[in-house]
Amino acid sequence: MSKKQISSALISVFDKTGLAPIIHQLNKLGVTFYSTGGTEKFIRDLGYEVVAVEDVTGYPSILGGRVKTLHPKIFGGILNRKEIKEDQSAIQQFEIPQIDLVIVDLYPFEDTVAAGRSEQEIVEKIDIGGIALIRAAAKNFKDTFCVSDQNDYHDFLKILTESKGAPDLEQRKRYSVKAFQTSSHYDTAIFNYFNTEEEVLKLSMKNAQTLRYGENPHQKGQFFGPLSDLLEQVHGKEISYNNLLDIDAAVNLMLEFYDGESSFAILKHNNACGFATRPSLKEAYIDALAGDPVSAFGGVLITNKGIDLDTATEIHSLFCEVVIAPEYDKEALELLKEKKNRIILIQKATPLPIKTYRTCLNGILVQDRDSKTDSAEDLRFVTDKKPHSQEIDDLIFASKICKHTKSNTIVLVKNGQLLASGTGQTSRVDALNHAIEKALHFEFDLKGAAMASDAFFPFPDCVEIAHKAGVTNILQPGGSIKDQLSIDYCNQNNISMVFTGMRHFKH
């Protein structure tokens, strides 16, 4: 492939981390340095000569540093097409120095936004010269090499060393693609910060992680995003596409209980098959497992507390794909690691996005995250019988699980334990019957149980079926034109029912 020797380099970076080895190697190759400000001083401090950009342009850095490199003598040297005679004539006529390499990063706009700085501080972190330099060098990849990402420094140093300063066309083009990704991502972040109209959707996600496969082995799969900001993997096999979906469901569910009593959930295919809240974590795990020990096989386990050795000992006897906790005792972690493929994750206190996205037909559906959690203050008591304090706790407990279960769903709980749920059914009656059948199969007593529904009852049939199974407390959104039929049935049979006024469909 066509190789081009690097004889000159324009280097201007905000963060100098990892730059020194590249400077040393370029100097060995006899490369002329051009630079500005802090980077110019950095190179001089390493003991090398530097041509100041202002000596090339005849202009100092002006407007508080906003204008430094925006000049034809800089951009002409970057955009010069060496095979075009007219370009060479212009370069000679205007005494424009050739620039073969551009190493530039951008002001940390996203970090400034994330730090909650003022709008003025954020605006000042919108890079102008840097983004222009990157685009110019990337456009002219046939003659100019562009390094725009600090994460590429190690690879670029290897290219420099192995090619003796003469990278080939494939390498220049590959780095050009990286540069356009850098500029595109940066502009998207700026647009999304200022955009309030929500009529345009722009997404840019870095940190691509190639998965073993997608939902099935014949499908390719990738995950985009800074997963390590939320979860640290300390043991186990590579996380799969289906693992990630279950982990997502588990994390979202447990966030409802994060500041409360010790809680443990077991999930399978994005739905909780076991959940319990108890004074101790070991008790919570044992009672969560009792909810459905069959489905728990190969499931995802998550808790809101650190896992101790007693709890880990109970977990260790179960084959599970994933364990998630905010921390682990040393002995507990060593025990859980004995299963070499078991994925062990530490969950960090990182907020989740406020929007959710999913492909639909030939487009993308966007919605606000369902951030509403039903509380005792939201309840409207619509029946003669009112639930007492413990019953209200169970109703809210059931509602939280119901919110994170596939619709149509019915959730049955008792004393802070998930007894059973009917998930993803085409009718609410089917969901209820499935939940009752499952609870009885595992020998739970439904007398005095609480029931939650993700949507209203269009008819009183579910209330009647639940009553005959032993349920005495019911939570639902309400809102049906036939709500009164369900209320009447409850009043006639000494059942308490509350309305939340909030539907929680999950499809």
Burial class (CB in 10 A: 0-12, 13-18, 19+), 281: buried
Q: Are 344 and 236 in contact (CB under 8 A)?
A: yes
Cβ of 40: how many Cβ atoms within 10 Å? 19
- Known active-site residue 269: yes
Coil/strand/helix, residue 276:
strand
- CA nearest to 322, candidates 264, 252, 244, 263: 244
Which one of the listed residues 16, 139, 173, 386 is annotated catalytic? Answer: 139
Distance CA 376, CA 116 (A): 33
- Known active-site residue 388: no
CB-based contacts of 434, cutoff 8 Å, min separation 6: 410, 420, 422, 423, 425
Q: Which residues pair with 497 in a beta bridge?
A: 474
Distance CA 194, CA 221 (A): 32
Burial class (CB in 10 A: 0-12, 13-18, 19+), 220: exposed
Which one of the listed residues 269, 339, 385, 386 is annotated catalytic? Answer: 269
Cis peptide before 408 (omega within 30 of 0): yes
Residue 47 has which token pair? 């003991």
Burial class (CB in 10 A: 0-12, 13-18, 19+), 292: buried
- CA nearest to 300, candidates 373, 236, 249: 249
Q: Containing H/E element for 232?
A: strand 231-235
As annotated, the active-site residues are 139, 269
